[in-house]
Structure 1
Amino acid sequence: MPATHPVDEFRPLSRLIPFGLQHVLVMAASPISSVFLVSKTLGLDPDLTVRLLSATFVLSGVGTLVQSLGPWKFGARLPFVMLPGGAPVVLFIAIAEEHGLPTASGAVILTGLCYFVALPLFARLLRFFPSIVIGTMIVIIGVTLVKAGGVLVVGKPGTPGFGDPRNLLLGFATVAFTVLCFRFLGGMLRQLAVVFGLLAGTALAALLGAVHVEGLDRTAVVGLPSPLPFGPPEFDLVAALPLMIFALASMAEATGQTVLNGEIVGKEIDVRRDVPRTIRGDALISLLGGLFGTSMMVTSGENVGIVRVTGVRSRFVTVIAGVVLVLIGVFTPIAHLVNAVPPAVVGGTAIVVFAIIAVLGVQMLAKADFADHANVVIVAVALSAGLLPSLLPGLYQALPSNLAMLLESGVAVGAFVAAGLNLLFHHLPRFGAATEKRENDCAAT
């Protein structure tokens, strides 16, 4: 009887629960911040905000269970967590501001359907995403996420409190606590270094008066998501186009994450089989998200870094994380407690985890043959295209708003540039190649 692969190994709950909680604590800022961004930008009332927060946590948990358990043809059966995507949230807000919330929900539903329609064609194109393309994507993802973690620590330039020394102290102290736990702890405790660093940072924040638990005295204990919170969805293909185009970029990103996750857990990935499973999971949960008022839900590249840090490969760790996310969505006081962790502390933890993703991308690129100058050009140009939006914010602000939002997604741009250049250099016939071959043949004779 063949041995069980570590990714399919069900470990004792005494080990699974702490590691599952670690995933949740590091990732909880994403659903909270996405809902609050939508609420504040669109002026939603507090009750509606609470219902959207509940829906976002529950769908994140359900999506995590789908990706981790992989029922039928949905989910990669890898340790994945699903969360609201950053760029889709921005696009959702833009559609809602211009066309109204019912149209924004309709756009998410149309995009979920677009995944299923486009998937067969995309699956045929996967051969154009070798390790050099995926490695470049992973580096861009890692660097972009490090910047996002840094923003959690210091805030955005030009906003009140930017670079607050207390926040800098909390962020860097959390990094230091995490490193010290890696250095001096062993066994299972070392694998929990990320969560210990986060807890130590939170304890320091409490001593400095930076932890504030609000809303516990006036919130219901149980809050269930409400379907169609904005009323019946309205379907407008033109309004939905930016999200539908982004779905193609999301497919490319899901490809990279699936391959990287497989490498980390040591499981051989069949790209033609496993990537579509990941994408179907994203499509299903995004479709449900449109029905419950959220934006698109996507597999999280961030949690892949946690898997690499801990070395715990079992997908049942993220099954536990999925259950916890659902419980947070149902029991609203838990969400308030999780939200009490200061952003600077979460950012400090995130910087460590996200930087590891970039390192994993570099490891993947190390497999490429850089003696071939074509590969040097592919990676150089794709990295430039993917990182410029992060390095130069507002680079595309003079362009039409929908086009600018798409181009500012460095991961999407970098992925398509890398895939396009790989096609140009390694799959299309070279101009003059036949003449060069004849000359070489003549010289040989």
Structure 2
Amino acid sequence: MSVSTERHPVDQYRPIARMIPFGLQHVLVMAATPISSVFLVSKTLGLSEDLTVKLLAAAFVFSGVGTLVQSLGPGRIGVRLPFVMLPGGAPIVLFVAIAQEHGLPTASGAVILTAVFYLVALPLFTRLLKFFPTVVIGTMIVIIGVNLIKVGGLLVTGKPGTPGFGDPRALLLGLATIGCTVLFFRLLTGMLRQLAVVLGLVAGTVLAALLGATHFDEVGTGPLFALPEPLPFGPPEFSLIAAVPLMLFALASMAEATGQTVLNGEIVGKDIDTRRDAPKTIRGDALVSLCGGLFGTSLMVTSGENVGIVRVTGVRSRFVTVIAGIVLVLIGLFTPIAQLMAGIPAAVVGGTALVVFAVITVLGIQMLRQVDLSDHTNIVICAVALALGLLPILVPGIYDQFPANVRILLDSGVAVGAFVAAVLNVVFHHLRAPSPRENTETAAAS
């Protein structure tokens, strides 16, 4: 009997000429995240232009390094799946809050302490993974998808209460980008159809240029190269109390990374053992965050943003995200490339993101179809977890009257949904009292 030696599609190399466009597609969809995260830190804390350029370089370089780590998976670090790593949205907000209260050196120290906390808490978290069956993971993926849809929508509309919220031109650009993506996916075939997402983004950018909404004036100004600077805020200062908010987020982040690992494995058709593979993803997040913290970044997390792209395109090779990682590093080193990426209107990126993020929600629903929903206990687990997990997403500020550290956890719909689903799963499926029939069968067997 012969044994097949054919590589799994996720491990297959493709011609470099084919991989580069797909890698660029991943980069274009997620490039707004490191740019917006650095600009948020810079504007809020009043950093100099020179320091902002160095932080932007660090954000892109470590996004690229993290992407390479997760895609190549050296040793037991990184899961060898087509993942992209980005600065986390919630960690950026927490980083700014810590910096405002305790100073930037303490904020950097908090990032480093949290990265170490990941590694210390991981063995305990791994033992708890048996309480995360498909009903828990699927519910968590749905909540992740809805949360990301909100993020993409805010890129199009802007934040409520800010100038320009709901600008008709931005809405037009977002809807036109979605329409072009659908049109390309319907009319094109082969490789071009797989590139429908990036082609839709390009079409939206062209329309934005015609409407005068692009911002390419700064391209070519300033230095050609920008290298990340070690310890840009000076020697880090370590305070466990200041680091508590980020450590609490780390617990939610580990649960989210577990769900994304399972989802990514399902998309590429690779068998995933959560107790073996999820820790590899989390170790990658921890070590890249540790290195990034030494260069002024906040926590770097494995992103669910590119998972939808893998599903839409059907391109499962992890070497496509290897290309994306290399491109991200180059963007960080070459300033004009980052300036070019920053010139694409947020509404266009948001329109593309809405399509990709909605796919993640659909994949969560598809995962829940594997659950026996004729069992009413599974319905209760899913319904209650969705209700409590979606509540802070759909009703922002609902927990503003709670203490700060409690609010950090409650405001994370993903963390709340995962915790509630896991606890209910234990209550119904692990602590369930035996039925009269089971007692009878046990007595008969005795």
Corresponding residue of 1:184: 187
One-letter amino acid matched to 1:27: M
Identify which of 419, 423, 439 aligns with 1:420.
423
2:23 matched to 1:23?
no
Partner Cα distance (2:379, 2:56) in 1: 44
Distance 1:147 1:155 in 2: 11
285, 293, 296: which one pairs with 2:296?
Answer: 293
What RMSD over aligned residues (CA atoms) do the two structures have, in Å?
1.5
Question: Quick one: structure 1 residues 439 and 217, their matched pair in 2 at CA, closer, same or farther if it must change by over 3 Å?
Answer: closer
Structure 2 CA distance for aligned equivalents of residues 436 and 184 of structure 1: 58
Q: CA offsets per residue over residues 52-82 of structure 1, 9 Å max, x none?
A: 0000000000000000000111100000000
> How many angstroms apart in 2 are the aligned matches of 1:135 and 1:145?
15
| 2:346 aligned with 1:343 | yes
Count of matched residue pairs: 441
Residue identity in the other structure for 2:368: L
Secondary structure of the structure 2 residue equivalent to 1:141? helix
415-424 or 301-310: which moved more?
415-424
Identity value in percent: 73
TM-score normalised to the size of structure 1?
Answer: 0.97
Q: Secondary structure at the match of 2:231?
A: coil
**Cα deviation, residue 376, structure 1:** 0.6
1:21-420 residue pairs with structure 2 within 5 A? Answer: 21-420=24-423
**How far is 1:212 from its partner?**
1.1
Q: Which runs of 5+ in 1 are unaligned?
A: none
Task: Letter of the 1:349 partner, please give it.
Answer: T
For 1:225 and 1:214, the matched residues in 2 are separated by 24
Q: CA deviation at 1:217?
A: 4.4
Moved more, 37-46 or 228-237: 37-46
Report the Cα offset of residue 218 of structure 1. Answer: 3.1
Once the two structures are TM-superposed, the CA of residue 441 in structure 1 deviates from its matched residue by 8.5
Q: 1:107 is aligned with what amino acid?
A: A
Distance 1:248 1:436 in 2: 40
Task: Please say if residues 221 and 336 of structure 2, whose CA atoms lie closer than 8 Å, have aligned partners that are also in contact.
Answer: no
Offset at residue 349 of structure 1 (A) = 0.2
Residue identity opposite 1:135 in structure 2: G
Taking structure 1 as reference, are residues 330 and 420 closer, same or farther at Cα in structure 2, changes over 3 Å only? same
Find the residue that maps to 1:397 and give its secondary structure. coil
Shift of 1:435: 6.6
Equivalent position amino acid for 1:62 in 2: V
Give the superposition deviation at 1:94: 1.1
1:317-346 deviation per Cα after TM superposition (whole angstroms, max 9, x unaligned): 000000000000000110000011100000
Does the 8 Å CA contact 2:113/2:238 hold for their aligned counterparts? yes
Shift of 1:216: 2.9
- Structure 2 counterpart of 1:402, which letter? N
Letter paired with 1:102: P
Tell whether the 8 Å contact from 2:248 to 2:408 is kept in structure 1 after alignment: no
Question: Quick one: which amino acid aligns to residue 292 of structure 1?
Answer: F
Distance change (3 Å), C-alpha of 1:9 and 1:439: closer
Deviations 1:10-34 (A, max 9, x none): 1001110000000000000000011
Q: CA deviation at 1:405?
A: 2.6
